[in-house]
Amino acid sequence: MSENKIETIEQRVSYGVGRQLGDQLRNNPFKDFDVSAVQAGLADAIANSASQVSDEDLNEAFGIVSQKMQELEQAEAKEKSAEGEAFLVENAKRDEVTTTESGLQYEVIATGEGEKPTAASTVRVHYHGTFVSGDIFDSSVDRGQPAEFPVGGVIAGWTEALQLMTEGSKWRLYVPYNLAYGERGSQGAIPPYATLIFDVELLTIVS
């Protein structure tokens, strides 16, 4: 359907539904969609026509693709893990970087004069989080709004580091994946096995 034929309310709604479906497919991890086959399946479903592919063949195809995608995700995860490990090995050689027994690395940017929080404390902080690539994934600094949370309710790398910091301090944390979001990542924002870098400023101990 050419653009100048999308004139009626029904046509616009239909086009909008198609656009929404296309957006979903474009963002799907599977990238080898055959558009003509998608159109055929859509048309058959709307018309309530018999499927051109048996349930057995459909299930087999979905299973094969699912397996391939899992293998791809595992390969990408291994690559991400190796990338993070290599970064941490080199980073540990820098004089200004301290590595703790757990594998957490930190660099002191500024030292405050306040108290140290405990695992039971609630703190207010500013933070700026990036991947080792430098890409930003989260930042209270960019939002202009400090974050407040219990020290014992965050990732292990943060829980450890915050108890070493004093109020007013600013550190750069280099957090290996096992002290961050592990093998699963976090809701699409953090991929599995990701090493993370945080600039953390401990503003105050709230309680």
Q: What pLDDT digit, counting tens, does each position of 128-177 carry?
A: 999 999 999 999 999 999 999 999 999 999 999 999 999 999 999 999 99
80 inside domain: no
Same domain, 123 and 199: yes
Same domain, 63 and 99: no
Residues 52, 128: one domain?
Answer: no
Q: Is 180 exposed, middle or buried (0-12, 13-18, 19+ CB in 10 A)?
A: buried
Q: Which of 72, 102, 118 is the last residue in one of the domains? A: 72
Provide the mean pLDDT of the chain: 92
Q: In 3-state terms, what secondary structure has residue 128?
A: strand
| CATH for 198 | 3.10.50.40
44 within a domain of the structure (yes/no): yes
Q: Give the span between the Cα atoms of 126 and 145, in whole angstroms.
A: 8
Among residues 169, 87, 67, 92, the alpha carbon closest in space to that of 132 is found at 87
- Is residue 197 included in any domain, yes or no? yes
Asked whether residue 28 carries a pLDDT value surpassing 90, the answer given is no
118 in the same domain as 162: yes
- The answer to whether residue 77 sits within a structural domain is no
If asked whether residues 138 and 196 sit together in one domain, one would say yes
pLDDT at 188 over 80: no
55 noted as active-site residue: no
- Stretch 12-28: mean pLDDT: 89
Q: Are both 184 and 106 inside the same structural domain? A: yes
For residue 1, is pLDDT > 60? no
Total domains in the chain come to 2
Q: Of residues 87, 174, 193, 198, which has the active-site annotation?
A: 198
Query: Is residue 127 annotated as part of the catalytic site, yes or no?
Result: yes
β-bridge partners, 131: 196
pLDDT at 180: 95
Are 105 and 98 in contact, with CB atoms under 8 Å apart?
yes
Q: Containing domain of residue 60, as a range?
A: 3-72
Q: Please say if the pLDDT value at position 22 is more than 70.
A: yes
159 within a domain of the structure (yes/no):
yes
Average pLDDT over residues 84-97: 96
Q: Are 189 and 122 found together in one domain?
A: yes
Report how far residue 24's alpha carbon sits from residue 38's, in angstroms, rounded to the nearest whole number.
Answer: 13
Residues 131 and 198: their CA atoms lie apart, in Å, by 9
The residue from 20, 50, 72 where one domain ends is: 72
Residue 112 in domain: yes
Give this prediction's pTM.
0.70
Is 198 an annotated catalytic residue?
A: yes
Q: Are residues 97 and 29 in the same domain?
A: no
Residues 35 and 116 in one domain: no
Residue 81 lies in a domain: no
Catalytic residue of the set 87, 106, 131, 155: 155
57 is catalytic: no
Strand partners, 128: 139, 199
**pLDDT at position 199 over 90:** yes
Contact 122, 109 (CB under 8 A): no
Judge whether 34 counts as a catalytic residue: no
* Catalytic hit among 106, 181, 190, 205: 181
Domain boundary among 24, 45, 72: 72
Residue 176 shares a structural domain with residue 115: yes
Q: Indicate if 181 belongs to the active site.
A: yes
Identify whether residues 62 and 116 lie together within a single domain.
Answer: no
Q: Is residue 190 part of a domain?
A: yes
Asked if residue 91 and residue 68 are part of one domain, the reply reads no
Whether the predicted pLDDT of 2 surpasses 80:
no
